Amino acid sequence: MLQESVQDPRNGATSGGWAGGPPRVFQKGPVNVHPQRSLGSMAFTVFLHTLLIIGALIMAGPFIWMIITSLKDTSQAFSSPPSFLPNPIVWSNYPNSLQAMPFGEAYFNSIYIAIIVVVVDLLTSAMAGYAFARIRFPGRDSIFVLFLATLMIPFQLTIIPLFIIMQKLNWIDTHLALIVPACLFDAFGVFLMRQFIKGIPIELEEAAIVDGASRWTVFWRIILPLLKAPLSALGIFTFLSTWNSFFIPLIMLNTPDLFTVPLMLNQFKDQYTTQWTLVMAGSLIAVLPVLIVYIIGQRQIIQGIALTGLKS
Amino acid sequence: MDLRVTPLDKNVIGNARNNLRKRRLIDTFWGYIFILPQVAGMVAFVLIPLVSVFYLSMVSWDGLGDIQFVGFQNFIDQFASEDLRIAFINTINYTLITVPGGIILALLTALALNRVRGKAIYRVIYFMPVVTSTVAVSVIWLWLLNGDYGLINQILRAVFHVEGPNWLADEHWVIPSIAIVSIWGSLGINMVIFLAGLQSIPAAYIEAARIDGASRLQLFWRITLPLLSPTLFFVIVLSIISSFQVFDQTFILTGGGPAKESYTIVYHIYTLGFRQFTFGPASAAAVILFALLLILTLLQFTLQRRWVTYEL
C-alpha cells in the first residue's frame, strides 16, 4: 500500500482529500506530499479565485464606472439600461470640468502644502525620535510618555480649541492653519523614528562622538541616512493623509482660491450636482495623480501604510 | 609602588569629571533642541487645546462676544438634546453594520488571499480605495447610488427586474448605504493587517494540526483564529473608534439627511461648532464623544482577556 502510493501519490484514497477534509492516508506515510496538487484542492483554488475576482470587480468597479461615465455625454450617462462602453467617446468633459473649477490652483495648493508638511514633519519627527532614543537629558522619558498618551486623543476632541487658536493667530483662511500643526506635531512619527533609531547599533555614533562630532553632525551624517526605510514609509503616509485630508481644510479655509483638491471636488459636486459626466471627470482629475503614484509604488506604499497605518 | 595620589593625578581625575559634566550639559542642550519643534507643536496644538476643551465645554461663547461660565449646563443640554440622541443612534447603527461587516469581509478576503497565487495583483486592487481620498470615493458612490440612474439600481433593474430604493434619500437605506461605502473603503487596509497576522502564524502549528487530521474548519476555529486573535482585537478596536468618528462620507453623501437620518456624532460636533459657532455645546459634545470612545476601548481591553490568545 505504502509503496503503491509513493509510486502514484494521486492514486485512489489520496486524491481529492482536501476538499472534504484532509486525507487520512496523510498520517500513514509520505503520501500526498503535495496536497495542493490534488483535484479537490484545485477545485477549491478555482473557487477562491472566482470569489476574489468578483471581489476585485466590486473594488475596482466604482473607479471603472467613474472613467466610463466621464467619457460619455449626458444622454449616454442617463440611458437605461446603462451602456458599458461610451459610444461615441466624449473627451470634452475633461477640459469642461477644468474650466468649470480651478482644479489647477487646487492642485498647486495641495502639492505645495503636502510637500512642506512631509519634509518638515519627517525632519522634526526624526530629530525628536533621535533625542528620545539616544540622548540623555532630564525629563526625557516622561516627555516621551506624554507623546504616546496623545496618540489616544481623537482629533475631534481638540478641534474646537484648535480652531479658536487659529483664529487668535489670524491663521483662519490661510494655509498656515493646515501646515504648521501638521509639521510640528506627529506623535506617531516620533514614536516610529525612536523605535527604528533604537535598533541601530550605537558603535557608529560613539566613534564619531569620541572624534568630537557634535550631536547634530551625528544625527545628520550618520543617523538620517540610515533611516531611509522608515522615513519613506512615514513620508508616504503623511503625504497621503495630508493630500486626502478633508475635515481640517473644511473648517479652516473659506476662500476657493486656497482650496485643496478634496475641498474643490466637494464644491464642484455641489455646483454641478446633476451633471454626472462632468463630476466624474472632475473626480478622475482629483484622484489620478495619487492612483498613478500608487500603481507605480504599490509595494512600498502598501507596506508603508500597513506599517504606519496602525496609526489611524 | 607608590599609590599616593599626586596633585597631577587629581587634576586628571578632576578634568575627566569636568569633561563628563560638560558632555552631559551639552547632551542636555542638544536633547532639548532636538525635541523642541515637536514639543512646541504638542503643547500648542494638542495640550493647550486639550485643557481648553474641558473649560470650553463649561462656557457659553460664540467666538466673538463675552465668555459666560455656565458649569455643567452644556452637558445637561446635550444629554437632553434630541439631535445628540439621533446622532448617537445613527452612529451606533452605522457601527453595528460597518464593524462586523467590514471585519468579516476583510478576514475572509485575507484568508482566501493567503492561499492563492497572484496575491500581489489582488492586493493592489483591493487596496486602491485606501489611498484615494474619501471625498473622491464618496462622490463616485454618490453617482453609483443615485436612485434613478445609478449603476446599482440600473443593474437591479436590468438583471433582476427589481426597482432598487433611492439609497441615500431613503430613511431606512441611508445608513446601510454609507456603511457599504465605508466597508468598501477600508477593506484593503484591514485585509493587509490580517494578511500580516496570518503570515506570522508559524507554519509548524498548521502542519501539526493537519497531520493530526484536523478538518479545514477545525483548523480555522482551533488554530488560525486563536492565533490571529491579537490582530483581530486590534482591528476591532480601531474599526470601532474610526466608525464612531465617521464624518467625510456622511458629509459628502447625504449632508446628514434625509431628515437627520444619517446625522452622526461628529456631524453634530461640526454643526454645533462650525455652523452655529456655539463653541460651548460643541465642546461638550466632543467631550462626550471622547468619554464614549474611552469607555468602549477600556471595555474592550477588559473583555479581551476572555478571548484573545497571546501565546499558544
pLDDT digits (tens, 9 = 90+) for A53-72: 999 999 999 999 999 999 99
Q: Residue B5: which pLDDT band, with cuts at 50, 70 and 90?
A: low
User: Which of the listed ranges A245-259, B106-120, B154-168 does the model predict with the highest average pLDDT?
Assistant: A245-259
Range with the poorest average pLDDT among A13-22, A90-99, B177-186, B285-294? A13-22
Cβ atoms of A125 and A189 within 8 Å: the answer is yes
A26 has a pLDDT exceeding 90:
no
From CA B231, how far away is CA B211, in angstroms rounded?
Answer: 26
Q: Tell me which chain B residue has its CA closest to the CA of residue A155.
A: B46
| Averaged pLDDT for residues A95-110 | 90
Query: Percent of chain B at pLDDT above 90?
Result: 65
Cβ atoms of B198 and B110 within 8 Å: the answer is yes
Identify which of B28, B132, B251 has the shortest CB distance to residue A138: B28
pLDDT tens track for A181-239: 999 999 999 999 999 999 888 888 888 888 888 899 999 999 999 999 889 888 988 99
Choose among A224, A273, A277: nearest CA to B255.
Answer: A273
Q: Residue B210: which pLDDT band, with cuts at 50, 70 and 90?
A: confident
A185–B41 C-beta distance less than 8 A: yes
Q: Residue B169: which pLDDT band, with cuts at 50, 70 and 90?
A: very high
B1 has a pLDDT exceeding 60:
no
A276–B149 C-beta distance less than 8 A: yes
CB under 8 Å to B90, separation ≥6 — which residues? B175, B260, B261, B262, B263, B264
Q: How far is B2 from chain A (nearest CA, A)?
A: 32
Q: What is the pLDDT of residue B9?
A: 65
Choose among B157, B246, B158: nearest CA to B166.
Answer: B157
From CA B140, how far away is CA B136, in angstroms rounded?
Answer: 6
Q: Please indicate whether residue A80 or residue B173 has the higher confidence score (pLDDT).
A: B173
Chain A residues with CB-CB distance to B295 below 8 A: none
B136–A286 C-beta distance less than 8 A: yes
Range with the poorest average pLDDT among A90-99, A120-129, A240-249, B73-82? A90-99
Instruction: Map out the domains of chain A with their CATH numbers.
Output: 2-70 (no CATH), 97-311 (1.10.3720.10)
Chain B residues with CB-CB distance to A29 below 8 A: none
Q: What is the pLDDT of residue A179?
A: 96
Q: What is the pLDDT of residue A24?
A: 42
Phi/psi at B59 (5° precision):
-125, 170
Chain B residues with CB-CB distance to A132 below 8 A: 35
- Residue spans per domain, chain B: 7-56, 75-307
Choose among A158, A194, A162, A157: nearest CA to A178.
Answer: A162
Chain B residues with CB-CB distance to A246 below 8 A: 133-135, 248, 251
From CA B167, how far away is CA B154, in angstroms rounded?
Answer: 13
Q: Tell me which chain A residue has its CA closest to the CA of residue B157.
A: A81
Q: Please indicate whether residue B54 or residue A44 has the higher confidence score (pLDDT).
A: B54
Range with the poorest average pLDDT among A111-115, B123-127, B211-215? B211-215
Q: What is the pLDDT of residue B66?
A: 87
Choose among B79, B87, B46: nearest CA to B245.
Answer: B87
A11 has a pLDDT exceeding 50:
no
Domain B75-307, CATH class in plain words = mainly alpha
Range with the poorest average pLDDT among A18-22, A114-118, B276-280? A18-22
The DSSP string of chain A is -HHHHHH-TTSGGGTTHHHHS--GGGGTSS--S-GGGSHHHHHHHHHHHHHHHHHHHHHHHHHHHHHHHHTS-HHHHT-SSPPSS-SS---THHHHHHHHS-HHHHHHHHHHHHHHHHHHHHHHHHHHHHHHHH---TTHHHHHHHHHHHTTS-HHHHHHHHHHHHHHTT-TTSTHHHHHHHHH--HHHHHHHHHHHHTS-SHHHHHHHHTT--HHHIIIIIIHHHTHHHHHHHHHHHHHHHHH--HHHHHH---GGG--HHHHHHHHHHHTTT-HHHHHHHHHHHHHHHHHHHHHTHHHHHHHHHHHGGG-
A25 has a pLDDT exceeding 50:
no
How does the average pLDDT of chain A come out, rounded? 84
Q: What is the pLDDT of residue B64?
A: 83
From CA A166, how far away is CA A174, in angstroms rounded?
Answer: 10
User: Which of the listed ranges A73-87, A282-296, B39-53, B205-219 does the model predict with the highest average pLDDT?
Assistant: B39-53
A7 has a pLDDT exceeding 70:
no
A310 has a pLDDT exceeding 80:
no
Identify which of B44, B115, B266 has the shortest CB distance to residue A156: B266
How does the average pLDDT of chain B come out, rounded? 90
Chain B residues with CB-CB distance to A244 below 8 A: 132-135
pLDDT tens track for B230-265: 999 999 999 999 999 999 999 999 998 898 999 999
Q: Residue A303: which pLDDT band, with cuts at 50, 70 and 90?
A: confident
Q: Which of B27, B30, B64, B217 to mutate to test the interface with A (most CBs of A within 10 A)?
A: B30
pLDDT tens track for A144-194: 999 999 988 988 999 999 999 999 999 999 999 999 999 999 999 999 999
SS3 content of chain B, % helix, strand, coil (to 5): 75, 0, 20
Chain B residues with CB-CB distance to A121 below 8 A: none
pLDDT tens track for A271-281: 888 889 999 99
ipTM of the complex: 0.88
Q: What is the pLDDT of residue B69?
A: 92
B278 has a pLDDT exceeding 50:
yes
Cβ atoms of A311 and B201 within 8 Å: the answer is no
Q: What is the pLDDT of residue B239?
A: 93
A28 has a pLDDT exceeding 50:
no
Q: What is the pLDDT of residue A237?
A: 86
Q: How far is B61 from chain A (nearest CA, A)?
A: 11
Identify which of A163, A261, A298 has the shortest CB distance to residue B124: A298
Chain B residues with CB-CB distance to A160 below 8 A: 49, 53, 56, 269, 273, 279, 282-283, 286
